[in-house]
Amino acid sequence: MRPVQFSIIGGAGFRAQYFLRIAREMPDRFQISGMVVRDEEKGKTMEAQWGVSTYRTLEQLLAHEKPDFIVVSVGWAACMDYLLQLAELGIPALSETPPAPDLQGLELLHERLTLKGARVQVAEQYFLHPIQQARLALIASGQLGQITETTVSISHLYHGVSLIRKMLGVMFEPVTIRGMRFESQWVNGPTRSGPPTADRMIPSQRDLAWLDFGDRLGIYDFTNNQHRSWTRSNHVSVRGERGEIFDSRVLIQDQSCTELQLELKRMNKGELENAEGYFFKGILCGDRWLYENPFAPARLYDDEIAIASCLQKMAEYTFGGPGFYSLAEASQDHYLGMLIEQAIRTGETVKSARMPWAES
């Protein structure tokens, strides 16, 4: 098969450079078919750095390029405008998350995109991380029984909500939310700009929320900038009728009343005497591969593997395959994220309403 050809709108941004790195690492799978970079000087810098063509407008790009789909990696307001424009042109779009800034914008996108059959998916990558895919595969196996609880301490708001929903197996069910914030001090650590340059204490905000779906409970736990911190750990636990996942540890009591203690074991090639080259192979649990890296032997780190999975699934969707993370799902996760913020801010218990996209 020929490589997937995709264009990027907003190519000078931090997030867009993930897609550039992935295409550079796997040119046999993915190729960049031009980028829209409005600033000419930034565009020339990107051309020199990445060896790709840049254009100042979408119209200019489409006059010279024929992408299979377009990645829209810009701010909320501009993202909405581009998605509507691409829908009018009949071009499939992979949107950054979330696709709109507020509830009104989400409802507008549902009305003008989803209901009109626009081909749009959203680049939510957290549930596609190898470890999350391994956990979801174990859940799907039924060994844990019916899942009743999950605690997710991975990333903020809609990202965390998406994992809660996936682990619990819920879509648009009603939910009651309570929340709180705990403030303290912690050491200034790495940020998007890089590692710390001075040792100093800064304010820390830890947000907690309980999402009660009636027969299932999701616990959201996130400290600002936790996912980059050297001093705070990420954590996920999943509890079912017959066992639990606690980070990489798996505890199960099977139907013969046998106690099983297993581990989600990350397997790399190229370590010690292995001469297959250095790359991530997959995740084992006992004698079963729960996850095998579809991009091996490319040397990608986990977030890049997850985003590459978005690109691969978007390509399959573009050519008639199933969707993988729809506008409806993205809108629900952003909506619940906004309710979490409301519950934390007000100290009140809030209840979700059934939104229009739940009927799509």
Residue 253 makes CB contacts below 8 A (sequence gap 6+) with 242, 243, 259, 260
CA angle 31, 35, 37 (to 5 degrees): 155
Query: pTM of this prediction?
Result: 0.94
Pairwise CA distance, residues 265 & 238, whole Å: 17
3-class DSSP state of 236: strand
Say if residue 250 is exposed, middle or buried (CB neighbours under 10 Å; 0-12, 13-18, 19+): buried
284: nearest Cα among 132, 127, 134, 128 = 134
Q: What is the pLDDT of residues 97-129, one digit of tens each?
A: 778 889 999 999 999 999 999 999 999 999 999
In the chain, % helix, strand, coil (3-state, to 5) comes to 35, 30, 35
Residue 242: which H helix or E strand, with range? Answer: none
Domains assigned to the chain:
4-123 (3.40.50.720), 146-240+329-360 (no CATH)
Pairwise CA distance, residues 25 & 341, whole Å: 38
* pLDDT value at residue 252: 97
* pLDDT value at residue 16: 86
**Which stretches of the chain drop beneath a pLDDT of 70?**
none
Asked, as a colleague might, if the bond just before 297 is cis with ω within 30 of 0, I would say: yes
CB 135 within 8 A of CB 246: no
3-class DSSP state of 83: helix
Residue 53: which H helix or E strand, with range? Answer: none
* pLDDT value at residue 134: 98
Residue 343 makes CB contacts below 8 A (sequence gap 6+) with 177, 178, 179, 209, 349, 350
Q: Which amino acid is at 40?
A: E
Pairwise CA distance, residues 195 & 261, whole Å: 37
* Dihedrals phi, psi of 135, to nearest 5 degrees: -60, -45
- Give the tokens for residue 44: 């020339």
What CA–CA distances, in Å, run from 159 to 56, 68, 156, 166, 251? 31, 27, 6, 11, 26
* pLDDT value at residue 89: 96
